Amino acid sequence: MKRFLFPVALAASLAACSAIDEPAAEDVLARFHAGLNQGDWAAIDGLLSQSTRNLRPGGATARAFRRITERHGRYVGGELAGISDEQGRITIAWAARYEQGPVSELFVLVEEGGKLKIDSYTDNAVP
């Protein structure tokens, strides 16, 4: 039963998110992945929300993203797997491809100072 409800819930949440600026959200992800590949931690730091940067001050949060390329290699592409908006927080499921294989990424974006910022990120290699 749970397997049946998930696609229905996903479809309903996707239908409800017509107000999301998908191109702007995908642009944040593109800049994030470009920063990863270039090792441009300052660029990544600029994409992070203030609350995320406060977790590890002085750019340390962005440098922690270096572990992504250590685990998965360079980013080579990806596509939108799902997107939803709840109370001003945009959640994006991204089907990424890295040198070492597919990776499921989950981003949470928030608007801060008129721009979308990354408030949360998780990654899991896809077997």
The domains of the chain are located at: 2-125
Please report the pLDDT score of residue 65 as a whole number: 84
**pTM for this model (two decimals):** 0.82
Asked if 65 and 40 count as a contact pair (C-beta separation under 8 A), the reply is: no
Nearest to 94 by CA among 104, 109, 84: 104
Quick one: which H or E segment has residue 8? helix 2-15
Please report the pLDDT score of residue 14 as a whole number: 46
Does the domain at 2-125 match CATH 3.10.450.50? Answer given as: yes
Please report the pLDDT score of residue 11 as a whole number: 46
Please report the pLDDT score of residue 36 as a whole number: 95
Please report the pLDDT score of residue 124 as a whole number: 95
Could you say which residues of the chain have pLDDT below 70?
1-18, 59
| pLDDT tens digit sequence for 66-100 | 889 999 999 999 999 999 999 889 999 999 999 99
Please report the pLDDT score of residue 56 as a whole number: 80
